[in-house]
Amino acid sequence: MIALTIRHRTTYLYHQPVKLGPHRMMLRPRESRDLRLISSDITVTPAATVNWAHDVFGNAIATASFAAMTDKLVIDSAVLLQLGGEPWPVFDIAGSAIHYPFRYADDEWTDLGQLAVPQYEDPDGRLKKWAAGFVRSNPTDTLSLLKDLSAGVAERIGYQSREVEGTQAPLETLDRGWGSCRDFAVLFVEAARALGFGARIISGYLYNPDRDLVGSDDSGSTHAWAEVYVPGAGWITFDPTNRSMGGHNLIPVAVARDIHQATPVTGSFVGMTDSFRGMWVEVSVLARTAPLRGGDAG
């Protein structure tokens, strides 16, 4: 396993003091067999009361409440973790799901619920038709189909970083032919759902030590990708932005049905209409060179 440090700082500036509403923060990585969280700290300036809870997906949510007015808000997250996923994972898919199309068990279908239902309008079936173009035969190999779909998103869509908020609808991404990592993830998930798969959006961080992956000019950045549920194997990770499968270089923070549910920081303020000056986000994902000590796990 490799030890990583993640710093994620979000800064809001205002032209004059404003009253801050509650701010919802999704910054704590999700622990798993492949990810061991050593420490996670959030510092908020000005001082705030921070309460923790878990949402319906099991994501850790911190909510900051403020008393004083301010012209600057800084939310600083510092994380230390160990990541140990396999670069080339092998998935033990159930015999009933090796070939597509297959049928989920009744309990699986019930529990997947809205994760198996497209969330965006496709009145003419354009997205479904595009996704069906990756089905090479009937039946066809399930994992190969999902790999082809992920690669097909990257082949059809050119990557373009977007600083503006929001995400393009899948048909909008297909028509424009470009998008950010979150647009890639939404297109892939919706296409998988159109084929009958249960799929979900993942938001977190990309570790890119060789600086050769799409979505980060540095050793790491915020990132969005997807997971598809396949019986036997469970949730399989796909990063259509980089045509990769498996999460050895991905640090999940939030899973969600729709991308808007996985925004790292959301909040509001009360002030003049021209009060807002701007927002800046700084992220670093670095390998820790110093050895972990016993106190680090406290």
pLDDT tens digits for range 156-203:
999 988 666 678 999 999 999 999 999 999 999 999 999 999 999 999
Q: How many Cβ atoms are within 10 Å of 71's Cβ, its own excluded?
A: 15
Query: What is the token pair recorded at 195?
Result: 């084929």
Structure pTM?
Answer: 0.92
Q: With 70 as the cut, is the pLDDT of residue 89 above it?
A: yes
Distance CA 108, CA 91 (A): 18
Q: Which of 84-98, 109-123, 275-289 has the highest mean pLDDT?
A: 109-123
Three-class DSSP category at 40? strand
Per the prediction, the chain carries an average pLDDT of 93
Predicted local confidence at residue 165, as pLDDT: 66
Place of tokens 């001082």: 47
Confidence at 297, pLDDT banded by 50, 70, 90: very low
Query: What is the token pair recorded at 145?
Result: 């189909």
Three-class DSSP category at 88? coil
Cα–chain-centroid distance for residue 242? 14
Distance CA 170, CA 168 (A): 6
Three-class DSSP category at 73? strand
Q: With 90 as the cut, is the pLDDT of residue 80 above it?
A: yes
Find the mean pLDDT for residues 109-130: 96
Predicted local confidence at residue 73, as pLDDT: 98
Q: With 70 as the cut, is the pLDDT of residue 295 above it?
A: no
Span 198-248, pLDDT tens digits:
999 999 999 988 777 776 667 789 999 999 999 999 999 999 999 999 989
